[in-house]
Amino acid sequence: MSERNKRAIRWGVLFLVSIVIASNYYVYDAMSSIKAVMQNELGISSTDYGLIVSFYSFPNTFLLMTVFGGIILDRFGIRKTGLLFTLLCALGAIFTAYGASDIFRSGGPGYAFFGSFLTGYSPELKLMILGRLLFGLGAETSIVVINKIVVRWFRGKELAFAFALNLAVARLGTALALILSPILIETETGWTTALWVAAVTMGVGFLFFIIYTVAETRLYEKPQASSLLTADERFNIRDIWALLKNKSFILISLLCVTFYSAVFPFQAFCPDFLHNKFGLSLALSGRLTSMIIWGTILFTPLFGLYVDRKGKRATLMLFGSGMLMLVHLTLSLTSITPYIAMFVLGIAFSLVPSAMWPAVARIVEEKRLGTAYGVMTSIQNLGLFAFPIAAGMITDYVNADTITRLLRSAANAVPFMPDMFILGTPLTFVIAFLQAHGLEPATLDYTYTILMFAGLGLIGFLFAFLLKREDAKSGSYNLELPELD
């Protein structure tokens, strides 16, 4: 096969797997810009919403499924592992949409069962949490699979640029979710249309991975003809210890969890934060939040090209972490227009991933690579599980007095108070009630919630600094050197 044909095949493979990961990202963020609508329709608090978001990370944090998924990948290959976990993604997205649907809420299949246990939580909330859990079980390991596919095809070639393009397409999925969800909730089919579109999108992603697996059997040349590794290449369970003794790998993993914990959970709350602090409509808040993603779509490939040709991986991770911290401090403590902060956050969100994921391929040898990405993803998911819950709890706690004051104001102004208006009622319910009666609603205070994200940015900056210092001191992995000579 000519070099030109090999190059065309590489980029064709990248296109297929990028569509898969874009579908994954679309589903993850499909709820972000409709948080207030979900709370009103389902009768849930910010803490409940945080639970739905967080259970994405439960299997990968507490059951270490990305670690086991990485081991499965290194033992049994890309095709089987990828098909299994992308199927779980599709099933999880379907369950989440069904849990919010009118069919389920009207006593449809499964409603009685989900109402029979943990009666303090609604059946809708429990089924959506289960769907989110299944989606997370599949999503993170499928990302590990795709990372290894990219490394296999592009190691020693345009690796950083390939990773960057893959991430750019993935975040196009996030941007579309943030923009389309507020539009889809206004359709005649109802607000749950946004969740059903997410489920269909993930089904398309699963179809594209099936296409990839069929193409793989025809495209790989020996010794890559089989999706199974040779006996010498296979991961051995003892190799986990080698990963845990690798100081650079530990530092980059810690940077990964703090950085992504300051971005993804923030995105889940960002549209509602912008709506409350700056008085923007939900639709405009979703579009503004998507600026983070549009920034990464534009800048990540450029930074990937820079890494391939100039290196400087550790330096880029350090700069990106510092910018992230400054953005959150600006949003939480000032009233400067959020447009600037969203743009800068998009640059930060491009700098770190475009350098971090290719750097792992330098730090870890190929036979451990799937497991290394699995371990990193599991650690990352610890943050993605904990911090949406923490953000929801902080938001509810800080605004508890606001709820009480609004209830008293409504009681004095409106003769009839619905029975549901008791202490502990979600603030979004109260605001909707006051708006319906022409009263002035108060807004949620997100100051301390965003300060929490700023603290994560600071910790990530420290880990990036230590990683850069370790690389300079040891000289083992040459993170500052280019991929291409």
Q: pLDDT tens, 17-27?
A: 999 999 999 99
DSSP-derived secondary structure letter, 122 = -
User: If you search the block for the tokens 């849930």, which residue do you land on?
Assistant: 44
- For residue 111, being part of any structural domain is answered with yes
* Cα–Cα distances in angstroms (integers) from residue 397 to residues 58, 311, 392, 442, in the given order: 23, 45, 9, 15
* Structural domains counted in the chain: 1
Task: Give the CATH number for residue 372.
Answer: 1.20.1250.20
- Cis peptide upstream of residue 482 (ω within 30 degrees of 0): no
Q: Is residue 428 part of a domain?
A: no
Position 255 in a domain: yes
**CB within 8 A of 335, min separation 6: which ones?**
none
Residue 179 lies in a domain: yes
The conformation of residue 441, written as its DSSP 8-state character, comes to -
Q: pLDDT digit string (tens) for 165-217? A: 998 898 889 888 888 888 898 888 888 899 999 999 999 999 999 999 888 77
SS3 (DSSP) at 421: coil
Quick one: which of 54, 39, 46, 38 has its CA closest to 184?
Answer: 38
Q: Flag whether the pTM goes above 0.75.
A: no
Write down the mean pLDDT value for the chain: 82
Q: What is the pLDDT of residues 43-83, one digit of tens each?
A: 887 778 888 888 887 887 777 777 777 777 777 778 888 89
Task: Report the residue count for the chain.
Answer: 485
Q: List the domain range (segments joined by +) for residue 174.
A: 3-399+444-474
